Structure 1
Amino acid sequence: MGCCPSKDTDTVKAEGQVPPTEPRDEPRAPTDLLSGLVVHETASQRCVKATPPKEEEELQEAIAHASTAEPMPPSGEYAETWDGGKTFHWSGKKKTPIPAGSVRELAERRAYDAVTLLDQLRAAKERARAKGAGSYRGVRVGWLRAFAKRVPRHWTTEDVVECVIKPQTADRRCRYVDILAAADVGDARIFTSHAWRAPFVNLVAAIAHVCLDEMYVWLDIFAVRQWPGGTADLEFRPLVRDADAFLLVASHVDE
């Protein structure tokens, strides 16, 4: 997307914050929206225990390099790849290519390779588990409902990814579940399929309609690494197989 919709004025006032003054088409810093729902200390401890120090260090060095490599991204946009790391582009609507051979492209390729290697090493260690690793990346429905209450009602799920998920995981390029408290992440009984451009609150309402607060649901925006190199998370067949139910959330279309 590149530009996050502004927060509703009434919502901002209700939270005791100063209403936004920037134009609606300007990106907003998202860290004030949901910071109370993120537990960075728990995430860091869990990641350090699960990650070989050498490979984790390489990823952090690659991220640091990419954060200053030219060309820098347009405001509110992030690097993406849709062809397995062959080419990279910015995440805005225009999908502007990152020039091949540029310092930034090389830095993104290094980060991509570091993420891929980390996931391969972790997968090898997790093969003894009863289910695939992705099945244990569900979010607690009670947490999800609290999260949704702090998201502007007019935001789509894609807005949530661009304005919250990516900014809050940028320093580690990790999955969002990696920065949540351990109690809010668990074995997903429900696999959820949905449209990213539909209202996020509708998605959460549908989940809450059929799930209890103590249940865990698999949602791609939280369980999948939203950064280049996260292709290991995109194999959904084991997740569907291991889930108790498949929930499809779709919007009604008038004929």
Structure 2
Amino acid sequence: MKANTHFAFFDEGSKKEIRRAIMKAVAIPGYQVPFASREMPIARGWGTGGLQITLSIIGKSDVLKVIDQGADESVNAVSIKKLVHETTNVELTEETSEATIIQSRHRIPEVPLTKDQIIVLQVPTPEPLRGVEEREFVTKRMHSEDDYSGVWLMLFEQIMKYGRTATFADHPVYVNGRYVMAPSPIPRFDNNKMHQSKSLILLGAGREKKIYAVPPYTNVESLAFEDYPFTVESFEGHKCHLCGSTDIFLDEIIDQQTGEKSHQCNDTSFCMDQLNRKEKVEVQTSYA
């Protein structure tokens, strides 16, 4: 840890204020709690909300994993890991199962999370009603009155125009039967991972100064009509060309020379784990 730097960058008063906001968010699932978002050594829009949560809850014994759209080695993930490590000296890992805190942008890991883990999601736009109402005081009133007709109308218009809902990411969810919530720009594929999750899910928006949460074992339902049920991205008939995994979120890869298309695990850590297991099985088989 750098000299003359507070543990986890913030002074204790700042961390306490953010933790109080987190506690309120956990007590009221899906409710957006305003907080005094601090200035950070990274630009707003690059994960400052999630980073402030991580810095406020992390302890010396924690193990941190940071991913950006499934990758541990992206610029955003590496920069955040460097800041946290230099101000805490906590252990870093790329293994999902080893981490106690996972900060993520746009993905929930493929490996199921446990009750001993916390996932922190970076959020650019926390207000699910923003697409139908720009005024903050009006959206607050709509939440208080449980008035989500605007969101339903938005989904209905998408069906009328495209024949299906067109929310490829950040599809709104109903939390604990009360609040409609923006799950952050995770793909639809990850929405179901929030339902009855064993881990605590914390969401932070630094630019919008909001924190909200999904406590463990909470009902999370993706908004959908009975005759147009919620569906996730389908990768049927495809598998990862590296590890052979199926039933996970895949990226389409195009060879720049040949133009051939293939698919690869979006979660790079998961892919490497599967490859290592595959190699171990092959080695054991060769000696049998």
* Common topology (TM > 0.5): no
Structure with the larger strand share: 2
The two structures have a TM-score, normalised by structure 1, of: 0.29
The two structures have a TM-score, normalised by structure 2, of: 0.26
Kindly name which structure, 1 or 2, has the bigger radius of gyration based on alpha carbons.
2
Structure with the larger helix share: 1
